[in-house]
Amino acid sequence: MHFRPLLLVFLLFFSIQCQNKTGIEHASNSAFLELNLEESTIDRLHQDYLAGEYTVTQVVQAYIGRIQAIDRDPKGPSLNSVITINPEALAIAANLDAILDKAGIESLSPLFGVPVLVKDNIDTREGMPSTAGARAMAESRPYRDAFIVQQLRDAGAVILGKTNLSEWANFHSSFSSSGWSGLGGQTKNPYDQTRSPCGSSSGSGVAASANLAMFTIGTETNGSITCPANANGLVGLKPTVGLLSRSGIIPISFTQDTPGPMTRTVRDAAIALTAMVGVDSADQKTLASSEYLGTDYLAHLDPNFLEGARIGVYNGPRGRHFRVDTLFNERLRELENAGVTLIELDQISTENPGGNSYQVMLYEFKDGLNSYFRSLGDSAPVKSLEDLINKTLNDPIEMRYFDHNLLMSAQAKGSLAEPAYEQEVNELFRKTRTEGIDRVMNLHELNAIISITGGPAWKIDLVNGDNFGLSSSSPAARSGYPNITVPMGTIEGLPVGISFFGRAWDEAKLLGYAYSFEQITQARTAPLSE
């Protein structure tokens, strides 16, 4: 009995290693450091390509070597954030080098030759599985890219691989550990490997922070981009629902789901967002974004953009961690010194929308997941939510820590044709939009709202589960409105962030405020230097 935990850990490790075989001869981290890529930016990479400092192949090789050294080597930090490396990454890089030789970088997209990692609930071709971290999905291989992945490819980005996540984007059990999945194991925070990376885009957050890619893509239903960005010292952008397509992404909620970039700088987030925007006939919510096509998300990146702004200060998370409060108050004084008028807000919604949001997610998870399984065709390893439940409950590794009760709760729901579902959606939008963010911003004539994103990362605990201390993600998440978090400092070496959120389609303005804050504070510190 004493050897069983060790045996299970070994089996998990062995299965992951088998899954991650790429046929690539991996370099050490030395190539990454020699190319001076640590904390590099998209602009700098572009300039270095232009100057002939290195090839795309050299850059991709260097990032793969760093993944091996930092993420997987038992002698290193062993962050366990990357679940799969793209077996075609070097071939793609070679093709881009051939294009570069003919065209010259100055005529190409800003994302040309930029290595990107995407969360493993986002479909990619080239034989990489899309698993949501579930062992039952280990051999699920979609035949085409998600819409946003194709957008990134069209812009010249290199899809380097897939990142680990909280299984089923953390909608599998009401008791869970952020960053754990049955297939990928536990992802660890690069600032302190004993602490949580937060979820569910945990692997994407860790990988971006530890410089395992130029940037990463996460997804959020409620807090799954902003929380790991907070815990890993990143900029995390959750766009308005509908600005970025969700087709080809394993769903939770059609009402709240959205992908978004996770980066080390606000400018990189703006560049990444620009590349992914597009109307997709397979995702009807993107039809509402058509008037925002061509938006220049770099236009407001001015260090003085905050001057003269009226910003609401949402106090919901305050009073729960005195050191976070102290740091937040210091940043508020800096904002006032920059010419910002601050208006205190004790609440945003007049009524609690939490119950409505939960019911909507249960309905939509069942419907969306069944639709996704059908889209995979006859070869899909899982045919339905009911099939998934049966496979999960009979898997001792999946059942070792968590009961996956949310899968059963979703299965018990009816169809989206039920009046009860429509009523929950209407009530959710009334409470979060009409009587929520729209109301409070109109009442106080606000340009944006700010709040503490979250607290310092807690200890990983597979016995007692997550220990969330505070969060401000819900108002923007439940309304489907945009939210961007930016590092505001550290507490005992652990990052914490500040969030800027506002009305639907306010991304360009929020990026401007976030950029101005970033330039004033310069608060990000890198977690790893070896």
Closest to 170 (Cα-Cα) out of 466, 380, 393, 490 = 466
Residue 172 identity (one-letter amino acid)? H
Tokens of 387: 């099939």
Query: Is 383 among the residues known to form the active site?
Result: no
Strands (DSSP E) found in 88-214: 115-119, 158-163, 180-181, 185-186
Helix ranges, 308-404 (H): 322-337, 354-375, 385-393
Euclidean distance between CA atoms 243 and 191, whole angstroms? 32
How do 310-314 and 235-238 pair as beta strands? unpaired
Q: Note whether 218 and 187 are within 8 A (CB).
A: no
Query: Is 177 among the residues known to form the active site?
Result: no
Dihedral (CA of 295, 301, 306, 312) sign: positive
Query: Is 200 among the residues known to form the active site?
Result: yes
Tokens of 138: 């280990």
Euclidean distance between CA atoms 475 and 66, whole angstroms? 37
Q: What are phi and psi of 106, to 5 degrees?
A: -65, -20
**Can you state the angle between helices 354-375 and 419-429, rounded to 10 degrees?**
120
Partners of 499 in beta bridges: 451, 485
Query: Which residue in 40, 119, 202, 474 is the catalytic one?
Result: 119
SS3 144: coil
Q: Would you list the DSSP string of 233-274?
A: T-EEEEPPBTTB--TTB--S-TTT-EEEEEESSHHHHHHHHH
Query: Which residue in 81, 200, 357, 471 is the catalytic one?
Result: 200
Q: Note whether 270 and 511 are within 8 A (CB).
A: yes
Query: What's the longest Cα–Cα distance across the chain?
Result: 65
Q: What are phi and psi of 301, to 5 degrees?
A: -80, 75
Q: Note whether 479 and 472 are within 8 A (CB).
A: no
- Rg of the chain on CA atoms, in Å: 22
Query: Which residue in 166, 176, 201, 224 is the catalytic one?
Result: 224
Q: Would you list the DSSP string of 260-271?
A: EEEESSHHHHHH
Q: Note whether 525 and 234 are within 8 A (CB).
A: no
Residue 46 identity (one-letter amino acid)? H
Euclidean distance between CA atoms 349 and 75, whole angstroms? 49
Euclidean distance between CA atoms 376 and 197, whole angstroms? 31
Residues assigned a catalytic role: 119, 200, 224
